[in-house]
Structure 1
Amino acid sequence: MFEPVLLKNVDVHDGHLLATYEAGGGYQALAKVLRQDTPDEVIDLVKQSNLRGRGGAGFPTGMKWSFVPKRVDKPKYLCCNADEGEPGTFKDRIIMERDPHQLIEGLAVSAYAIGAEVAYVYIRGEYVTAIRRLEQAIAEASAKGYLGRRILGSDFNFTVHIHRGAGAYICGEETAMLESLEGKRAQPRLKPPFPAVAGLYASPTVINNVETLVCVPHIVVRGADWFRGIGPDRSPGPKLYCLSGQVRKPGLYELPMGISLRELVEEHAGGPLPGRKIKAVIPGGVSAPVIPERGMDVGMDFDSLAAAGSMLGSAGVIVIDDATCMVKVATRIIEFFHHESCGKCTPCREGLNWVVKVLRRIEAGEGAPGDPEQLEKLCKGIFGNTFCALGDGAAMGLRAALVHFRDEFSAHIEERRCPFH
């Protein structure tokens, strides 16, 4: 039977305190690597585990760490992307509010591996409780010798700083986040150079998501084989799934990577609301293309969802029932992307503006017969033509809605009204 490890303290009384974390074996991973492992050995261990980034891209974490040059005349930095702006996603917030020391230990072990002495946690400013808990945890860890100079009697020095974001979705993109950290306007950088070579302040930088970092101490303590023994070999490990939308038991679930989307929604989350049927599910936050009910037997891992024409993303699972208008859903999502576009790329800035106008017209019962084809043409102009993945996510999501629910777009146009409202 699967035993949760990432969420084991979230429902424990005072789970955010250092004493509680230590009682459950906290900071043993940090002590272990400082006592007996070299940085390269830690990187090799994470490579062997095949931990893939939990922020959405799914890039192998150990490989990302290995890209950092060994000998440079600049400081190295570790950045934690805790902005969590993807609608439908709340896993990182829960960890930071209820088990912040798990993140701090993950930061410390990861920083030791890449040779960094400073880490920045870029957290969305609305996460007031999470910020307060992290500040308290940093103070506790510093007082106990888990942060600061000569940690646990070793030669390792490490400090953590919190940087509050200002509510920009674009800062979930790693280079836009770096621009914001440097006090500049948050817009994606052209790559290469990649952050591992020239990131924060033009210095070697590793950027990892909260969930990625909290996996690291468990890999150190339990081993790479334990991690690889959970879920599919190409996408192993425990995974946090955020369930929301029109479902009986919304919430945060820790389950093996690769669990069936149908099992996740119908068994763990209790299925649709009384009297309703599931129409579709967005499996990975609103950037992920929607999957119709008939496709729900797909595994919730990077490769299976990619093969099904969608993506795991942030694992923000949004359930949509049969009383919901998919044109309205598509309109709301594209309105979000249009509002959050940084405006740097013309296809994204102008294309999404035009897409919103067409979708609003269709939803209002004023659509024209050629509007679905016009939307497809606009998606083609946006996809693959922008600095970052914001435009791609918007285009892929709308394309999927047009493919799977074309009849609803046609009904709006033919009946000159929304059939659902």
Structure 2
Amino acid sequence: MNREELQAMGEREQEKQQSYRCRLLCCASTPCLSSGATAVIETFKQVIKEHDLEAEVAITSTGCMGPCSRGPLVTVQVNGQQDVIYEQVTPELAREIALAHAAAEPKTVEKNILPGDLAFFTKQKKVVLSNSGLIDPDRLESYVARGGYSALAHALREMTPMEVCETIIKSGLRGRGGAGYPSGLKWDLVRKAPGDKKYVIANGDEGDPGAYMDRTLMESDPHRVLEGMAIAGYAVGADQGFIYVRGEYPIAAKRLENAIRIAERRGLLGGRVLDSSFNFRVDIRIGAGAFVCGEETALMASIMGRRGQPWPRPPYPAQKGLWGFPTLINNVETFGNIAPIIENGAEWYASIGTEKSKGTKIFALAGTVETTGLIEVPMGISLREIVFDIGGGIPGGREFKAAQTGGPSGGCIPAEHLDTPVDYESLSRLGSIMGSGGLVVMDDTSCMPDVAKFFMEFCMDESCGKCVPCRVGTVQLHQILEHITNGSATQEDLDKLEELCIMMKETSLCGLGQSAPNPLLSTLKYFRQEYEAHIANRTCPAEKCTFTEVPPLQLTEELQRRARLAKTDSEVS
């Protein structure tokens, strides 16, 4: 396939879509499928078939539409225009919707309607998710009709690899996996690195509790990820790519496999991409569920068939990565930004966001907020706007207490900082990080020492065990937090808690151990009075913790086992 054939494919698909009088777009992402979307889609198909409307009404299974807590979601388009979005659609309601909108004189079913001017939609700016909820992720034509692969064609025909790298540099795009390193600079390092073989890796192994940004993009718009990887491969001189998909994401893996197969068959991946001299193949690797494999060196070890453990840097992957060759690793969301940047220009992208944090960011909005789901907002938007405008505020009349950003590696931001701009620098100053995009909202019923204990237990379980500070430190920190939340801690424990946190941050081998203390340190900084109340008064201000009569040094059986193992490992080391 060449560029002209690609354009013709898009035009044919547009004409086909315009030929339908009515289109029923049904969300088929994981949240909606888990709440009954399959039955809704089958009902639509049955009704349309019963009334012989296949030529007039199209039923499309799409990716995520955003407000996941309100699913299953259905968007109805009449004569090419978005008409109405229905929430919490049941098979019974689906039958009503199909009959009403597909009638000779279409009408709206006046129930379960999401207002078009809802702040959840109007406050967003969709760049990466611009296709999500509008296209069928299993049909290449659906993607091409909205400009898909035109950026790749433009790069191959009209830009040199150096010009592609310079465009990404000028755009100001920073890695969306958490560290926020300038993407263009990383690309240029790999481009300049000597090597007969180079690789591109898309990191889709997000493991933060409550985060599902990458999963949604891979499920909703897999070709966008592949196009971004292909452009990256052309820019850095790689002919092989890998997508590392978390093992708990079977739908994402299936849709990516289908997209790769179709793209190779149509000449958009594989040999002689778009009739050029550029070759680029993509393979999928499924992770085994280890959180540490989100770290780039552990991820590469896993791809190579080794145990997923990090190794010291330098050398960095840009110089020596997969099998010793230069390797470009970017988060899935980062690759989702590439095609829009190439298509619209670096200046366009750089005009979005703040001076140092350009573009948009996808967040998985979760916790105690009226509307949870996936959102994409411009960098620099305030936390207050996200929680109270887009999310609709705290349900049940409760008060906002904190927002956790960055998952187990992030921190908790209290109410007095609600007007903080959400960008890399501002979050860092508050003791948190952007992370991959998890955002958990907590109300006044949350106990902050208990929250810190939850994240420390997660890090303790997910530690690969390679370095002593992380392997032993997480166990000891969790042990002290257990004492605090059951009322058996002393002031000495609180002092020791802070010392251990500093030790872990300064001496752990990889980002997991270095950032594991962040939730604890941020809650100590902003909610220290809660820790002191647990210790001095044996009371929990949030009335969450249950105090026991256990002596200060008594541990649960599981913690005793972990402590013994940690001590043994420490002695061996």
TM-score by length of 2: 0.72
CA distance in 1, matches of 2:184, 2:437: 21
Contact 1:237 1:256 in 2 (8 A): yes
| Amino acid in structure 2 at the alignment position of 1:269 | G
Question: Does the residue aligned with 2:495 lie in a helix, a strand or coil?
Answer: helix
Residue number in structure 1 paired with 2:153: 31
Residue number in structure 2 paired with 1:81: 203
| Amino acid in structure 2 at the alignment position of 1:135 | E
| Amino acid in structure 2 at the alignment position of 1:109 | I
Residue number in structure 1 paired with 2:425: 303
Residue number in structure 2 paired with 1:267: 389
Residue number in structure 2 paired with 1:278: 400
C-alpha displacement of 1:416? 2.8
C-alpha displacement of 1:319? 0.5
Residue number in structure 1 paired with 2:377: 255
Matched, 1:167 2:286: no
C-alpha displacement of 1:89? 1.6
C-alpha displacement of 1:71? 6.6
Residue number in structure 2 paired with 1:359: 481
Question: Does the residue aligned with 1:274 lie in a helix, a strand or coil?
Answer: helix
C-alpha displacement of 1:16? 4.0
Matched, 1:396 2:543: no
Alignment equivalent of 2:455, drawn from 320, 333, 337: 333
C-alpha displacement of 1:417? 4.9
Alignment equivalent of 2:173, drawn from 51, 55, 70: 51
Alignment equivalent of 2:502, drawn from 366, 377, 380: 380
Question: Does the residue aligned with 1:347 lie in a helix, a strand or coil?
Answer: helix
Question: Does the residue aligned with 2:533 lie in a helix, a strand or coil?
Answer: helix
Contact 2:408 2:459 in 1 (8 A): no
Residue number in structure 1 paired with 2:182: 60
Residue number in structure 2 paired with 1:343: 465
CA distance in 2, matches of 1:244, 1:167: 21
The superposition leaves residues 292-341 of structure 1 with CA deviations (integer Å, 9 ceiling, x where unpaired) of 11111111111121223322111211101101111111111100001111
| Amino acid in structure 2 at the alignment position of 1:414 | A
TM-score by length of 1: 0.97
Residue number in structure 2 paired with 1:19: 141
C-alpha displacement of 1:73? 4.3
C-alpha displacement of 1:396? 2.1
Contact 1:9 1:15 in 2 (8 A): no
Question: Does the residue aligned with 2:362 lie in a helix, a strand or coil?
Answer: strand
Contact 1:196 1:206 in 2 (8 A): yes
The superposition leaves residues 3-55 of structure 1 with CA deviations (integer Å, 9 ceiling, x where unpaired) of 42221222125244211100100000011011111111100110110110000
> Structure 2: 5+ residue runs without aligned partners?
1-121, 545-573
Question: Does the residue aligned with 1:67 lie in a helix, a strand or coil?
Answer: helix
Alignment equivalent of 2:330, drawn from 208, 212, 217: 208
Contact 2:125 2:378 in 1 (8 A): no
Contact 1:16 1:97 in 2 (8 A): no
Summarize the Cα distance change of 1:72–1:403 in structure 2 as closer, same or farther, 3 Å threshold. closer
CA distance in 2, matches of 1:71, 1:188: 22
Higher relative contact order (CA 8 A, sep 6+): 1
Summarize the Cα distance change of 1:174–1:345 in structure 2 as closer, same or farther, 3 Å threshold. same
Alignment equivalent of 2:437, drawn from 315, 326, 347: 315
Contact 2:382 2:418 in 1 (8 A): yes
Residue number in structure 2 paired with 1:369: 491
**Identity score, percent:** 46
| Amino acid in structure 1 at the alignment position of 2:524 | L
Residue number in structure 2 paired with 1:226: 348
RMSD: 1.4
CA distance in 2, matches of 1:70, 1:5: 29
Deviates more, 1:193-202 or 1:72-81: 72-81
Q: How many residues align?
A: 421
The superposition leaves residues 154-196 of structure 1 with CA deviations (integer Å, 9 ceiling, x where unpaired) of 0000100000000000011101101111111111111111101
CA distance in 2, matches of 1:187, 1:8: 36
| Amino acid in structure 2 at the alignment position of 1:334 | M
Q: 4+ residue runs of structure 1 moved beyond 6 angstroms?
A: none
Residue number in structure 1 paired with 2:321: 199
The superposition leaves residues 91-110 of structure 1 with CA deviations (integer Å, 9 ceiling, x where unpaired) of 11111111111101011111
Alignment equivalent of 1:246, drawn from 350, 363, 368: 368
CA distance in 1, matches of 2:503, 2:493: 15
Question: Does the residue aligned with 2:148 lie in a helix, a strand or coil?
Answer: coil
Matched, 1:98 2:220: yes
Question: Does the residue aligned with 2:517 lie in a helix, a strand or coil?
Answer: helix
Larger radius of gyration: 2
Residue number in structure 2 paired with 1:294: 416
Residue number in structure 1 paired with 2:80: none
Contact 2:203 2:331 in 1 (8 A): yes
Question: Does the residue aligned with 1:68 lie in a helix, a strand or coil?
Answer: helix
CA distance in 1, matches of 2:249, 2:509: 28
| Amino acid in structure 2 at the alignment position of 1:278 | F
> Structure 1: 5+ residue runs without aligned partners?
none
Contact 1:365 1:418 in 2 (8 A): no
Residue number in structure 2 paired with 1:127: 249
Contact 2:137 2:255 in 1 (8 A): no
| Amino acid in structure 1 at the alignment position of 2:150 | Q
Question: Does the residue aligned with 2:506 lie in a helix, a strand or coil?
Answer: coil
